[in-house]
Amino acid sequence: MKQPLPSGPSSLCFNKEDFMKENFNVENFIVECRRRVPLENLRDDLNVYLKVLSSAMIELINKDYADFVNLSTNLVGMDKAINNLMLPLNQLKTEILNVRNAMEEAMGAIEEKMNQRTEIRENKACLQRLIKIIQCVKKMENLLGINADFFSQSSAEENPQQSCSRELTGQLIERVATEFNKLQFLVNKSRGLPLVEEIRPRVIAITTTLQYSLEGSFKEGLEMSNVETLCQCLRTYATIDKMRDAENLFRQYIVQPYLEEIITEQYIKNHPNGIDDMYAAILEFIPKHCKVLKDITSATGQAGGEVVRGYDFLVNSVWPEVVTSIENKAHSIFAPGNPAVFHQKYVSSMDFVDKFERHCGSQASVKRLRSHPSYNTFLSKWSLPVYFQIRFQEIAGAFETSMLTPFVSAEDTTLFHLHVSYVLWTCLHECWHEEIYLQPLCHRFWKLTLQLLARYSSWLDEVSETQLSKPESKPTPTGSNNLTLHSNGTDAGNGAGNDGKGDEATPEPVNMLQILGDYYTDNIRPKITALGVKDTSYLHESLQESESGLLSKLPHFGQYIVTEITSQCSGSLKTVNDIPRLYRRTNREVPSKPSTYVSSCVKPVRTFLKDYNSYIADENRTEWLTGILQNIATVYLSITTDVLTSVKKMEESLKRLKKAKSGQNLVSSVSSNNLGLSDDDKIRLQLFLDVTEFGNQIEDLGIDRSTIEDYGKLYSVVEAARSKES
């Protein structure tokens, strides 16, 4: 046990335990300490700890001083004692080595005897196997009645019926099969021995004769539907581990001749339902020709006898032959050139597969079918990516074509007014239509759905940038101040005259998303959950993300409508500048009704509502009208303020001129002829009447005038000017 080192001051830059480590290295110790303190500090700390160690050593010596002094005395005579022990120890070592050598020699002799005995035992077992092989061969030759002249391999394979001189019954075949199974085991254990190679032709003759007899008995049992015979044959095949031979035999002699007449191109053409009739005929084969075998080999069968397990004739005999025959004689069903025909054939084929699986009778059989190589081969023959590419070109191509003419009206305006929106909805509907959608392509059609929505969103940006922003797309006021929102002048609805229908005002994306949301719930989500997808929340989130992208485009179009209608309305406000000219030095009567420009100013708004009110949502109508009227009020306020300022300046100028000249001519020009009002007062009164009428027009449009901020300012300005006149 290691003695602990004495403790040093707590201010040391190193840990004293480092000195006790087995891998202590001076250089590494110094390097580590230099990272923390300078070398001078390290030297000082080492000197301090050296003094601590020296003091501790002195204390230790003083404590055990007597032991240190007597140490040399206690070691006297130790060498002599050691030499006395050395001789007996060497003698003991020699004796132990002699015993060890003797034991090793004895163990080697015993091991050699054991190896000889094992070799004898193995040779004995081999000899016994050879004796049993000869006995089995002779016994089977006697049971089969094989002639000694047919021991050669070639003669037995060419004429198996001649090598057997006895008619074999079912029980006899089973006995032979039992012996044959034993013979196979013995031959495999004795493979390579000369005797085994010598009797191999006789074994081959027995094998060929047995298989020939089994085939004949199996065929006879199938033709006669003899359950007992078939059970014996199947048990015999299982005994000799040749179950696949029985399934291949059934496929070759029963399944293949039947399918040769059904699975052909001519058969499909000659029948009215084509491929459906072909598949129906194939399915009829199962209860007609496979029922007996299914009853024998399946626990769910109706046979009351023993069940022979290990066979699956539907999976290993019928299904592979069906796939092979379709590949060789009806491969045109896999052609994807005509997508409609391909879809019909694929759906019929998958329906056939489902019905075939239901005939399997058990989940284990269905699993074996789905893991069979021919099953995967059949599914891989369908060029689903090619089919989807064709459908993609059809759907996406139609949508892209519709976007070339953005403001064409839809043929059916029940749901949408724009042709492009109607085509988008048609394309989305086609993606999941029963005559187009295929379950294995669900992920691709879902992706296409999102791509169509994304393309619609980007198209709205393109329309905003290219159609609504270019100079020729700006509305051109007509004689009736109707609003034209179409750059190409095309009638997009049931419009009146030559004006476009202004479907930009219609919340087509909102309508689209509402319909799509219901369609997703009723049609898309059930198809996705049918694939085993339990959590569809992330799919709904991706759809909502697309919806958010579309909704974000609407404010720009609303702003465009507000701006364009404001532009048309603002033109009438220029008449405000002509009011001073109408009253100054004209001796006109005092104004009592508003000017006609006020009604003309809001006429484009009324025309817009008349044409498109049924297309606009209530919230959009209120928002747009408020924006339009606010803009009009802003322009109106600016013009009116300028006019009043100009009138005030003119009035002050005339007063100064009057005061300067004191002439009656100028006095008469500013004096009132009616009710004592001056020309400038008449101007202010007319502006007041016009602004009041503008407020009434706002109320008539269904907007509270108090919500129009600049109208309040405008009314305050004209009210203040009118008050000064009195």
Residues of the chain with pLDDT under 50: 1, 150-157, 160, 162-163, 165, 303, 472-506, 663-675
Question: Angle at CA 418, nearest 5°, toward 415 and 421?
Answer: 70
pLDDT in tens, 676-692: 578 888 888 888 999 99
Instruction: Report yes or no: 17 and 5 within 8 Å, Cβ to Cβ.
Output: yes
Tokens of 587: 């001796």
pLDDT at residue 489, as a whole number: 32
For the chain, how far is it from start to end, CA to CA, in angstroms? 119
Tally the residues of the chain.
Answer: 726
Q: Is residue 82 exposed (0-12), middle (13-18) or buried (19+ Cβ within 10 Å)?
A: exposed
pLDDT at residue 665, as a whole number: 47
pLDDT at residue 475, as a whole number: 39
Backbone phi, psi, residue 146, to 5°: -75, 130
Rg (CA), the chain: 54
pLDDT in tens, 289-333: 888 888 888 766 554 567 888 889 999 999 999 999 999 999 899
Question: Angle at CA 584, nearest 5°, toward 578 and 589?
Answer: 100
Tokens of 161: 């019926």
- Token pair 């689209």 in the structure block, residue: 512
Going along the chain from its start, the domains and CATH numbers come out as 16-74 (no CATH), 385-469+507-552 (no CATH), 561-725 (1.10.357)
Q: Which residues contact 224 (CB under 8 A, 6 or more apart)?
A: none
pLDDT at residue 493, as a whole number: 34
pLDDT in tens, 58-74: 888 888 777 777 777 77
Tokens of 598: 């006020």
Instruction: Report yes or no: 382 and 370 within 8 Å, Cβ to Cβ.
Output: no
pLDDT in tens, 553-572: 778 888 888 888 999 898 88
Distance, in Å, from the CA atom of 249 to the CA atom of 232, rounded to the nearest integer, reads 16
Instruction: Report yes or no: 554 and 507 within 8 Å, Cβ to Cβ.
Output: yes
Question: Please, where are the H alpha helices in 613-678?
Answer: 618-661, 664-670
pLDDT at residue 348, as a whole number: 94
Tell me the HSE value of 234 on the side-chain side, using a 13 A CA sphere.
Answer: 25
pLDDT at residue 476, as a whole number: 36
Task: Name the DSSP letter for residue 505.
Answer: G
pLDDT at residue 372, as a whole number: 93
Tell me, rounded to whole angstroms, the distance of Cα 101 from its chain centroid: 77
Distance, in Å, from the CA atom of 499 to the CA atom of 477, rounded to the nearest integer, reads 10
Backbone phi, psi, residue 487, to 5°: -70, -30
pLDDT at residue 570, as a whole number: 87
Instruction: Report yes or no: 601 and 572 within 8 Å, Cβ to Cβ.
Output: yes
pLDDT at residue 165, as a whole number: 47
